[in-house]
Amino acid sequence: MIFKQLFDDLSCTFTYLIGSETSREAVIIDPVLENIDEYLLELNKLKLGLIKVIETHTHADHFSGSSELKSRTNCKTLMGEHTKAEVVEIKVKDDEIVKVGDLNIKAMYTPGHTLDSYSFLMKDRIFSGDTLLINGTGRTDFQDGSAKDSYESIFNRLLKLPEKTLLYPAHDYKGEKVSTIGKEKKFNPRLQVKDMSEYLDIMNNLNLPKPKLIDIAVKRNLKLGAL
């Protein structure tokens, strides 16, 4: 397996490039529009052909690069079936397997941060979008987010994965790059709660400012970043 973690400095977004060594096919998860040239260069260098591009959810803080990648490479766009983005070509269900050459990636419906949030499990690692972050969890106060859904997605699904599962989130603001399910279970301050109501209390009192780009970003990302 070929694996690259890329970072967008402006929005602190992680983008993942995953390729099959045998078929030379690749997938990109959560591309940022401004960095498309970098991804294409990387694919070229690694001699990989992009066949799919996945969005974990409709982002509110940056423009998606999925539409642009589609027009430059003819890859297929993919999101979970709860997305409101009508242009998405492949809409996957909970537990559905996404194939990229010999690689199998399992979609897991993990709402909470947004109603359309999915995580993607591949072998020893989970791409958790903004559902579960390193030392944090995705805010739940816009885009039909729900602290209750977030609790259930995290405690009843993600934390049930083997403790050694590598956690690759969609963002990090403090320089962390990777964690494990076991580490988050033990040390993530949001997860050290005795029950759901304690978690809801934390999430419903974060008092975060509204993301600067939300109005234009969400509108544009419903077209996968296209104008």
Using CB under 5 A, list all residues that contact Fe ion: 130
Which is nearer to Fe ion, 163 or 176 (by Cβ)? 176
Q: Minimum Å distance from CB 58 to Fe ion? A: 8
Q: How far apart are CB 1 and Fe ion at their closest, in Å?
A: 26
Token pair recorded at residue 55: 């969005």
For Fe ion, give the closer residue by CB, 100 or 203: 203
Cβ of 204: how many Cβ atoms within 10 Å? 11
In the chain, the amino acid numbered 124 is D
What tokens were used for 40?
């294409």
**Residue 222 tokens, joined:** 């419903």
Contact 76, 66 (CB under 8 A): no
25 versus 130: smaller Cβ distance to Fe ion: 130
Task: Give the nearest residue (CB) to Fe ion.
Answer: 130
- 183-186: which pairs have CB atoms within 8 A and are 24 or more residues apart? 184/132, 184/134, 184/135, 184/159, 185/159
Measured distance CA(41)–CA(180) in Å, rounded: 30
Pick the closer one to Fe ion by CB: 42 or 130: 130
Question: Can you tell me the distance from the alpha carbon of 225 to that of 216, in angstroms, rounded to the nearest whole number?
Answer: 10
Question: Could you tell me how many residues make up the chain?
Answer: 227
Minimal distance in Å, beta carbon 143 to Fe ion?
Answer: 8
Nearest Cα to 60, choosing from 214, 212, 172?
A: 214
In this complex, which beta carbon is closest to Fe ion, that of residue 19 or of residue 138? 138
Return the number of the residue (13 or 179) whose C-beta is nearest Fe ion: 13
Quote the least distance from Cβ 98 to Fe ion, whole Å: 20
CB of 21 to Fe ion, least distance (A): 31
> In the bound complex, what is the minimum distance in angstroms from residue 18's beta carbon to Fe ion?
20
